[in-house]
Amino acid sequence: MRKVVIVGGGSAGWVAASYLNGALNDRGKKKTVDITLIESPDIPRISVGEATVPSIHHVLEVIGINENDFMKATDATFKQSIKYVNWLENNGSGYHHPFTRATPGPIDRTGRTWMESMRDIPFMETVAAQTIISEINRGPKPLGEQSFSAPLKYAYHFDAQDFADYLTTFSTKRGVKHILANMLDVNVAKNGYIKSVELDNEQTIEGDIFIDCTGFSALLIEKALGVPFEDFSQWLMCDQAVVAQFSYEQFFPGVIRPYTTATAQSAGWIWDTPTQSRRAIGYVHSSKFIDADKAREELLAYQGGIPDDYETRVVKFKVGKRQQAWAGNCIAIGLSGGFIEPLESTGIYLAELAAVTLAEFFPHKDEDMAAMAFRYNRILSNRYYEILDFINMHYCLTRRTDSEFWRAVQKPEHITDRLQAKLDLWRRKAPTLADFDDQAFYGYTYGVDNLDNPLIDSRPPVDTGGLWNYASYEAILFGMDFRGEEFKEKLGDARLKSRPLQNVINTIQQAAKTLPPQHVWLHQTLDMPAWDVNEIPTGWVI
């Protein structure tokens, strides 16, 4: 029986333990893999609130979790979209990137049609009913709908610490071993494989496969094995966040929005994620352009009505990825493997992806290790670059010039070569699925170093569209008025008014009749307190 040792808990550690137990051990019914998680009792537990993407449904289902139980335990609410405010201009304008959108038929020309229109209706409102459904605070599913099923795609906002606690209880009941102890040393064999870890409770834990979930400390993958970190800060300059929690008992805003809000500030942006009992807010910013004290001032100003001594914390981070997520018999999952700022809610997602892919490439025999690691690293690496390019695009298309930060992010040296090649292509055509077959674009030089190490893939990365395809790129491009001035000058008064698809109109009308406001669903299904919500739509009464 293969022995898996996970060092480090938190969301990443327990997602890895729970998913592997679900996928490889049939939720503990068939024990083919022995899983032990070692967690330090001394490391402070920090929860800043989390937002996810719909892929989390697969993870929870494989683990064997009931959706309502999970939502109750983690203070969860529904998330249907991300709303970006003040990213294009500093004037209060915004746009949505929802999870569900419509197409007119087998050929989708909606992007090109909108580009040539008056643009008097935001693009996503012409193709995505979920944009309006989110704005009128309807949830994604009717009352009584089964777990993980709904007319609209959705994810969650939840408390990450509660999530880890819930997975701990759930998984240990199903066979995952949990040791509370500090790791003192790592024993590495001559072949570069980890043999065991020594703990401060005088235990030595041996294993066949070790998973590093020790966060930015990267105690196994970096400290013990020396795998370097690839820095992304040239393209994503934010490196810390000021975070705070606002309980509804003191600061209820009058609504529990079914979407995440990302509001641009002078040197970054503020996330706003609502759970059932509070809002988690964090100002992600670049310390090069603003210090933590001034960032804190902007955060409190965003919330409003907050005393100067209100508790906030500073969380520092580094953006990038591990050169190899899997080295020898060690796999880095979570922050030890990499981090990209949470603008599109990829923190939990990347831990999910790592665990799901590891289950698929699990080495049941020693001789499988190198081949499995090579392919695993290729998949994880491609996805990190895909996320890097997509997040980079949010910044570089801005028209803001009101601060040094926003002027800097538009400079060519802060745009990845891959993204620039995509943008050059999309200045000639609207995005389509074919654009994600590979990254061979006209005028793009790969500039890849040939490396002799067979475990390191020297081929250029490929954006497979595995997380965001052309539809998501259109949401951001057109939300940022891509090629707006060009078509205004070229077509002028010949442009037609923007028109929503008829099935979008129909869906909005149907949703208003069948989908309850989010707070109604949460109250009636999960017993959330009946907060004093503003303007409850007629027909929906708490």
Domain co-membership, 166 together with 245: no
Number of Cβ atoms within 10 Å of the Cβ of 14: 29
Q: Average pLDDT in the 310-327 region?
A: 96
Domain co-membership, 12 together with 66: yes
Residue 128 has pLDDT above 60, yes or no: yes
User: Does a structural domain hold residue 255?
Assistant: yes
Domain boundary residue, one of 274, 295, 318:
318
User: Does a structural domain hold residue 471?
Assistant: yes
pTM: 0.95
Q: How far apart are CA 517 and CA 254, in angstroms?
A: 13
Tens of pLDDT, residue by residue over 203-235, are 999 999 999 999 999 999 999 999 999 999 999
Q: Give counts: helices (H), strands (E), the chain.
A: 17, 22
Q: How far apart are CA 312 and CA 270, in angstroms?
A: 14
Question: Which CATH number goes with the domain that contains 347?
Answer: 3.50.50.60
| The pLDDT of residue 456 | 66
What is the domain extent for residue 224?
2-76+155-232+321-381
Strands 194-199 and 204-206: antiparallel
Say how many domains are in the chain.
3
Q: Average pLDDT in the 381-391 region?
A: 96
Residue 299 has pLDDT above 70, yes or no: yes
With b for 16 or more beta-carbon neighbours within 10 A and e for fewer, the 243-252 pattern comes to bbbbebeebb
| The pLDDT of residue 447 | 63
Domain co-membership, 87 together with 221: no
| The pLDDT of residue 8 | 97
User: Does a structural domain hold residue 180?
Assistant: yes
User: Does a structural domain hold residue 503?
Assistant: no
User: Does a structural domain hold residue 140?
Assistant: no
Q: Is the model more confident about 305 or about 400?
A: 400
Tens of pLDDT, residue by residue over 387-398, are 999 999 999 999
Q: Where are the alpha helices (DSSP H) in 208-247?
A: none
Domain co-membership, 99 together with 111: yes
Domain co-membership, 214 together with 240: no
Please identify every residue annotated as catalytic.
79
Domain co-membership, 203 together with 285: no
Of 381, 379, 483, 470, give the one whose Cα is nearest residue 428.
483
Domain boundary residue, one of 330, 346, 381:
381
Of 246, 305, 240, give the one whose Cα is nearest residue 273.
246
Q: Average pLDDT in the 412-423 region?
A: 95
| The pLDDT of residue 15 | 98
| The pLDDT of residue 365 | 85
| Percentage, residues of the chain above pLDDT 70 | 96
Domain co-membership, 200 together with 67: yes
Domain co-membership, 64 together with 167: yes
| The pLDDT of residue 459 | 76
Q: Average pLDDT in the 287-295 region?
A: 97
Tens of pLDDT, residue by residue over 439-493, are 778 777 766 555 556 666 777 788 888 899 999 999 999 999 999 999 999 999 9
| The pLDDT of residue 542 | 31
Residue 46 has pLDDT above 80, yes or no: no
